Amino acid sequence: MPRLIRLEATTPLKIEPNDFPRDEQGNLRKMSLCACGLSQKFPLCDGAHKRLCVSERPDRLYVYDRSRQNVIEERDDR
């Protein structure tokens, strides 16, 4: 299911090794990157896809508002 999302960044997003999540012993933990574009912590996944993408249909194009929380337009994607 395609979606249009406004991203306004003009520079790359760097993920520094010091920012990698670690457990209590200092070992690296798993890190998930956002692939749906709806995360408020982009480029890291915050689980937004679990609540926002579940009702999207594969044959529709969804246009989201600037907050990436609300669909403002739905189009036929054929």
**What are the structural domain ranges in the chain?**
1-6+29-78
DSSP letters along 24-52, please? TTS-B----B-SSS--TTTTB--SHHHHH
Q: How high is the pLDDT of residue 8?
A: 83
Q: How high is the pLDDT of residue 45?
A: 93
| Cβ atoms of residues 29 and 44 within 8 Å | no
Phi, psi torsion values for 23, nearest 5 degrees: -85, -175
pTM of structure:
0.72
pLDDT string in tens for the chain (78-residue length): 689 888 888 999 888 888 888 999 999 998 899 999 999 998 889 999 999 888 899 899 999 999 999 999 999 877
